[in-house]
């Protein structure tokens, strides 16, 4: 079998997650690993068992690398995706696609002009029961969508001493909770319901207006604490918590809450979609079950099982019922669809996977939510 050779850029949390998922596909070989300098690339490549450590310029010059995964901080997504496309590489980019709409629009244009495969890592679409909800809606089983209630809650920025590059607008952008995790929720809502968000009303709150930025590395699991003099006070202007009202193009409504300061919630996306026939509800922390509600009968619980879901969903399920699949499997299933297109040499006419155009769409909604939070009024998308 001729393997597709891949280069991955960035080794934070999500880069190794991409690598692990790619290695589970038989026709993919993660060949090159890029970091900010060759010394760090060499160190990380040795840790991850990757043959070629490299700089970004070296990666683009490798003729046998067909696809590049951009897993770097947000402010690098545009320039690196653009350079990779112009070097003739297919691109899978982390979200957000870019820092603003101008950059995102240019990437969509370049991707179309080059005819290369382009994808954004909206991997939460790839939980099997998310596609089951979408398929049920497409088959009319939910009826007309009346309302959507969603939330995405985390606690990794709960303390004022919690600090990360995502807190700095020059690296992450002017929105944080909405752009970082809310984008997954907003994408999932439109993906499942088929509705378009046409108007938003947002209320942002920065709980920790001053955070403590460590001035030296924290020794992980060492039991040692930094002293007060080891921190610098940094003013925070991006949101820790957000509530957003949504209006859809069918005239009905929705609401979402996004928080990175909800103690005990490590990574919980919840969505409840109510239609004229049924309601469905799903929770990412219990991803192998979906609640189904009806008015005149017993409610149900659908377990992730290839023998129970619709035929259109079975391609996303690797193991039999009772053998749970989770977060790591979502990236594998997304990449499986992306690399079918890479193997063909060009995107299909109607890709199943999220493209740069989808990345632009979510950036547009997030920008309008940010506009609404600043103006304190309804804003059209």
CB 130 within 8 A of CB 282: yes
What residues contact 344, with CB distance under 8 A and at least 6 apart?
A: none
DSSP letter assigned to residue 87? T
Enumerate the β-bridge partners of residue 273. Answer: 148, 280
Alpha carbon distance 198, 182 (integer Å): 17
What residues contact 301, with CB distance under 8 A and at least 6 apart?
A: 289, 290, 291, 292
E strands, 277-374, are 279-283, 289-293, 300-303
What's residue 222's pLDDT? 45
CA-nearest of 69, 60, 57, 58 to 25 is 69
Q: How far apart are the first and last CA of the chain?
A: 46
Alpha carbon distance 293, 291 (integer Å): 7
Tokens of 313: 């969903």
What's residue 227's pLDDT? 78
What's residue 220's pLDDT? 43
DSSP letter assigned to residue 156? T
Alpha carbon distance 365, 199 (integer Å): 9
Q: How far is CA 373 from the centre of its chain?
A: 22
What's residue 215's pLDDT? 84
Helices assigned H by DSSP within 255-344: 327-344
Sign of the alpha-carbon dihedral angle for 189, 191, 197, 203: positive
- Does the pTM surpass 0.75? The reply is yes
What pairing do the DSSP bridges indicate for beta strands 65-70 and 4-9? Answer: parallel
DSSP letter assigned to residue 279? E
CA-nearest of 106, 185, 104 to 369 is 185
Alpha carbon distance 237, 101 (integer Å): 20
CB 14 within 8 A of CB 40: no
pLDDT tens for the chain, 381 residues long, are 689 999 999 999 999 999 999 999 999 999 999 999 999 999 999 999 999 999 999 999 999 999 999 999 999 999 999 999 999 999 999 999 999 999 999 999 999 999 999 999 999 999 999 999 999 999 999 999 999 999 999 999 999 999 988 999 888 889 999 999 999 999 999 999 999 999 999 999 999 999 999 887 665 434 556 777 788 999 999 999 999 999 999 999 999 999 999 999 999 999 999 999 999 999 999 999 999 999 999 999 999 999 999 999 999 999 999 999 999 999 999 999 999 999 999 999 999 999 999 999 999 999 999 999 999 999 999
């Amino acid at each position: 079998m001729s393997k597709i050779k891949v280069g991955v850029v960035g080794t934070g949390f999500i880069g190794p997650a991409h690598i692990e998922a790619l290695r589970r596909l038989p026709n993919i070989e993660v060949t090159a690993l890029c970091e900010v300098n060759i010394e760090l690339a060499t160190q990380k490549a040795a840790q991850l068992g990757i043959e070629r450590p490299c700089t970004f310029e070296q990666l683009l010059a490798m003729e046998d690398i067909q696809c590049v995964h951009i897993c770097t901080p947000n402010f690098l997504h545009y320039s690196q995706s653009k350079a990779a496309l112009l070097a003739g590489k297919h691109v899978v980019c982390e979200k957000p696609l870019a820092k603003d709409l101008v950059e995102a629009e240019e990437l969509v244009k370049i991707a179309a002009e080059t005819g290369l495969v382009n994808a954004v890592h909206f991997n939460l679409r790839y939980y099997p029961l998310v596609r089951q909800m979408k398929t049920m809606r497409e088959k009319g089983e939910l009826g007309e969508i009346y309302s959507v209630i969603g939330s995405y809650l985390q606690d990794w920025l709960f303390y004022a001493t919690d600090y990360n590059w995502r807190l700095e607008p020059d690296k992450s952008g002017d929105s944080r909770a909405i752009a970082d995790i809310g984008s997954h929720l907003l994408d999932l809502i439109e993906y499942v319901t088929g509705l378009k968000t046409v108007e938003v009303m947002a209320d942002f709150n920065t709980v920790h207006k001053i955070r403590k930025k460590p001035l030296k590395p924290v020794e992980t699991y060492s039991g040692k604490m930094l002293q007060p003099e080891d921190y610098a006070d940094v003013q925070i202007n991006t949101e820790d918590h957000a509530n957003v009202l949504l209006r859809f193009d069918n005239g009905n409504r929705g609401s979402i809450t996004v928080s990175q300061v909800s103690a005990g919630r490590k990574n919980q996306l919840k969505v409840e979609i109510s239609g004229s026939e049924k309601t469905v509800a799903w929770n990412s922390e219990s991803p192998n079950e979906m609640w189904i509600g009806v008015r005149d009968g017993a409610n149900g619980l659908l377990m992730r099982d290839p023998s129970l879901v619709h035929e259109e969903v079975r391609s996303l399920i690797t193991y039999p019922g009772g053998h749970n699949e989770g977060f790591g499997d979502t990236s594998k299933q997304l990449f499986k669809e992306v690399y079918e297109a890479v193997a063909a040499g060009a995107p299909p006419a109607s890709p199943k996977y999220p493209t740069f155009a989808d990345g632009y769409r979510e950036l547009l909604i997030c920008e309008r939510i940010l506009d609404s939070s600043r103006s304190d009024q309804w804003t059209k998308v």
